[in-house]
């Protein structure tokens, strides 16, 4: 009954790729410090890993159009929300509001 394209061996190969990507992310994250670029690289690797999980573990390839649309809409809304939030914060004139606490607050040093 089930028209499935993903076989067990595909899942194992995807798992090996996921392990390799996780290790790559770990090495880049701990060895390289490229300021803002390192988070972009590690999130890009995370996006590739997510694609592998969706396609080879969650069988998104075998799902009808509506299921793929649900995923697409959720991911688009997530990207919109995060990018607009960052754009808002990054373009404000006075941020952060309270980066230097009052001396009376004692514990905090910056």
For residue 110, state whether it binds another protein (rule: CB under 8 A).
Answer: yes
Interaction residues for another protein, span 37-76 (CB under 8 A)? 38-39, 41-43, 45-46, 49-50, 53-54, 56-59, 63-64, 66-67, 70-71, 73-75
Kindly write down the DSSP assignment for every residue of 44-109, as one continuous string. HHHHHHHHHIIIIIS-GGGS-HHHHHHHHHHHHHHHHHHHHHHHHHHT-SS-STTSS--GGGTT--
Q: Which is nearer to another protein, 90 or 93 (CB)?
A: 90
For residue 95, state whether it binds another protein (rule: CB under 8 A).
Answer: yes
CA distance linking residue 28 with residue 38, whole number of Å: 8
Among 24, 30, 102, 103, binds another protein (CB under 8 A): 30
């Amino acid at each position: 009954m089930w028209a499935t394209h993903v076989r067990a061996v595909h899942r194992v190969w995807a798992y090996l790729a996921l392990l390799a990507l996780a290790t790559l992310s770990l090495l880049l994250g701990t060895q390289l410090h490229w300021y803002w670029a390192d988070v972009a690289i590690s999130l890009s690797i995370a996006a590739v890993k997510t694609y592998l999980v969706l396609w080879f573990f969650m069988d998104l390839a075998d799902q009808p159009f509506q299921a793929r649309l649900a995923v697409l809409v959720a991911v688009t809304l997530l990207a919109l929300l995060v990018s607009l939030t960052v754009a808002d914060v990054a373009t404000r004139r006075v941020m952060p509001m309270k980066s230097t606490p009052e001396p009376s607050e004692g514990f905090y040093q910056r």
